[in-house]
A and B are shown apart, each in its own frame.
Chain A
């Protein structure tokens, strides 16, 4: 069976700086895959390369065996890959509902699908329903993250890529977010997750990749990675 997403020998540059030095990675349908590593390892660049925001200088990104290299970001979204960027990037000046409507932008004329998606989001996060007419900027950090995830789900992605969903959130909220990610996966969405919080991520994920300075240095089942204390200490800290 071809994997949902295959990355082969990707090199990406920011100007002259080589941020990715040959990345190989696979995500199978139904999985949660964690991409771990310290700051500057190239995790976010990997996601940006997949979503077309950064163009790789060589290598290939395949969705169901079809190459996505050279596609514009909006075409990649329509192909079924959604990138929830780091720092949430919700629209502070728009209401919660308007934020969600944006997520359904690629659904074109299917208003019913958008309404249904919003209902699903509210079912997942009842707190968003209470605040549906409130400005996005007035939500707490955790609520903004929930909104960002829901906005991503509105496009009904095959692959949802989350860039540090736990960033800057209280531990109890992190647990809540992680549970929701598991629930989203159970409902059938494949997830590629970037996390600094390695332990939390490995508890959630099926498999994990560890990155260091633009390379993948380790790949294994999540529980194997989690059980090996030396790995966690050496590459991920804590």
Chain B
């Protein structure tokens, strides 16, 4: 796609997103709102996993930090929702650094285990602390208001989420093409070589965790006021995995891919409701097939560079193969 056609596509997509509430029923509007939450979360995780290449299995922890910070400040201290946002972000950034610091020297599997551990710690803290309302969570979180207008309806939250999702996408896209984004890309490809070329490995990794955490917490804060009640159940390990799934399914490091992945992770199980008990089985099988035939994701980061025009499906399958070859070469170089 050339740039101008790309712009038109983005504008069209946004226009559809804007009029969607008037075209769908409440049920699908709710699904769309949830999908937008996932777009924000997945973009945040995309910074950590896709850009910097740091596998994070506890991302829901940041979602929880945002939700609980907003929840507690609004119910216990009667803060306005908008004031809780910066506090939640700062909190999340600090938690991001706390989680990031011990993982700096770890790679792949070990990193995954440590992040998994942190995810569980946050969840178990939420279950056991009194300030977080222990297992029953926090309820009666007030609705946010702008001026005199209280955001209460489904449509209000849909638009609020849409705005935040657009902001997250723009922010992550700009980060990805910045100097920092390039530094992350080099760290992802070969950490030692990146360091030898003058990249501050420690700062860049902590920055990736913090930025990912800030975006995740933003989604959490909005989640708290939308649901008006939050409980530890929402921030389980499965939640972390579903967010990671959205990123991998769409294509690591690819902005449009991750948006697509997030929408699919939410929409597919809903679309499959007609087959009832079978739906998660089909969803799972689709994921397995997807990883076999398109391991680089539905819309990989290098989509436009690698392929010029449209190609047939068989060629797509072989491209998966050549992708593997490049990976092998990569391993050979690093050996």
Name A's B-contacting residues (CB within 8 A): 51, 53, 72-74, 77-78, 82-85, 87-94, 98, 101-103, 105-106, 135, 137-138, 144, 151-152, 155
Chain A to chain B: the 10 pairs with minimum beta-carbon distance, closest first: A77-B198, A92-B330, A89-B193, A137-B329, A106-B198, A91-B189, A74-B200, A74-B198, A73-B195, A83-B196
Q: Are A51 and B189 in contact (CB under 8 A)?
A: no
Q: Whole-angstrom distance from the CB of B110 to the nearest CB of chain A? A: 18
> CB-nearest residue of chain B relative to A51?
B196
Determine the residue in chain A with the shortest Cβ distance to B329.
A137
The CA-CA distance from A56 to B334 in the complex, in Å, is 25
Question: Considering the chains assembled together, what is the distance between the CA atoms of A138 and B327 in angstroms?
Answer: 11
Given A87-B333, A89-B333, A92-B330, A105:B193 Cβ within 8 A: no
Among the interface residues A72, A78, A106, which one has the most CB atoms of the partner chain B within 10 A?
Answer: A72
Interface size on B, residues (CB 8 A): 25
User: Whole-angstrom distance between the alpha carbons of A138 and B193 in the complex?
Assistant: 18
Chain B, residue nearest A73 (CB): B195
Residues from chain B with Cβ under 8 Å of A53 in the complex: 192, 195-196
Contact A74/B326 with A90-B333, A91-B193 known, Cβ cut-off 8 Å: no
Nearest A residue (CB) for B306: A135
Given contacts A101-B182, A105-B183, contact A151 B333 (CB under 8 A): no
Q: Which among B186, B197, B334 has the highest number of chain A CB atoms within 10 Å?
A: B197
Given known A102-B182, A137-B326, contact A92–B194 (CB-CB < 8 A): no
Instruction: Verify if B185 is at the interface (C-beta below 8 Å from A).
Output: yes
**Cα distance, A170 to B331, chains bound together (Å):** 21
The reply to whether B182 and A89 contact each other, CB–CB distance below 8 Å, is: no
Check B333–A88 contact: CB distance below 8 A. yes
* 8 Å CB contact of A74 from B179, B201, B330, B335: B201
Q: Which residues of B contact A151 (CB under 8 A)?
A: 197
The complex places the Cα of A20 from the Cα of B179 at a distance, in Å, of 37
A138 to chain B: which residues have CB within 8 Å? 326, 329
Shortest A148–chain B CB gap in Å is 9
Chain B residues closer than 8 Å to A137, beta-carbon distance:
326, 329-330, 333
**A93 cross-chain contacts in B, Cβ below 8 A:** 189, 326-327, 330
B199 interface residue, CB < 8 Å from A? yes
Contacts A94-B185, A137-B329, A137-B333 given; indicate if A89 touches B195 (C-beta within 8 A): no
Q: Which residues in chain B, 195-215, are within 8 Å of chain A measured between CB atoms? A: 195-202
Q: List 29 A-B contacts (CB under 8 A).
A: A53-B192, A53-B196, A72-B202, A82-B197, A87-B333, A87-B334, A89-B192, A89-B334, A90-B193, A90-B333, A91-B193, A92-B326, A92-B329, A98-B185, A101-B182, A102-B182, A102-B197, A103-B197, A105-B182, A105-B197, A106-B198, A137-B326, A137-B329, A137-B333, A138-B326, A138-B329, A144-B333, A151-B197, A155-B198
| Interface assignment of B190: CB less than 8 Å from any CB of chain A | yes
Bound-state Cα–Cα, A155 to B334, Å: 22
The answer to whether A91 and B326 have CB atoms under 8 Å apart is: no
Chain A CB within 10 A, most for which of B183, B199, B327, B333: B333
Cβ of B189: which chain A residues have Cβ within 8 Å of it?
91-94
Given contacts A85-B192, A85-B193, 20 further A-B contacts (CB under 8 A): A72-B200, A74-B199, A74-B201, A77-B196, A89-B192, A91-B190, A92-B326, A93-B189, A98-B182, A102-B182, A102-B197, A103-B197, A105-B179, A105-B186, A105-B198, A105-B199, A137-B329, A151-B197, A155-B197, A155-B198
Which residues on A sit within 8 Å (CB–CB) of B200?
A: 72, 74
Using an 8 Å CB-CB cutoff, how does the interface string of B166-188 with A read, 1 for contact, 0 for none? 00000000000001001101100
On whether A78 and B326 interact (CB within 8 A), knowing A89-B334, A90-B333, A137-B333, the answer reads no
B179 / chain A contacts, CB cutoff of 8 Å? 105
B329: chain A residues at CB < 8 Å are: 92, 137-138
Question: How long is the Cα–Cα vector from A82 to B198 in the complex, in angstroms?
Answer: 8
Residue numbers in B under 8 Å from A77 (CB-CB) = 196-198
* Chain B proximity of A81: nearest CB distance (Å): 10
What's the minimum C-beta distance from B209 to chain A, rounded to whole angstroms?
18
Which residues from A are CB-within-8-Å of B330?
92-93, 137
- Per-residue A-contact encoding for B292-331, CB less than 8 Å = 1, 0 else: 0000000000000000000000000000000000110110
CA distance A98 to B301 in the complex (A): 15
A73 vs B203: C-alpha distance in the bound complex, in angstroms?
12
Most chain A CB within a 10 A radius of its CB, from B179, B327, B330: B330
Q: Contacting A135 at CB < 8 Å: which of B183, B194, B326?
A: B326
**CA separation between A215 and B206, bound complex, in Å?**
38
Q: Which chain A positions have C-beta within 8 A of B335?
A: 87
State the CA gap A55–B243 with chains docked (Å): 39
Which of B193, B195, B196, B326 has the largest number of chain A CB atoms within 10 A?
B196
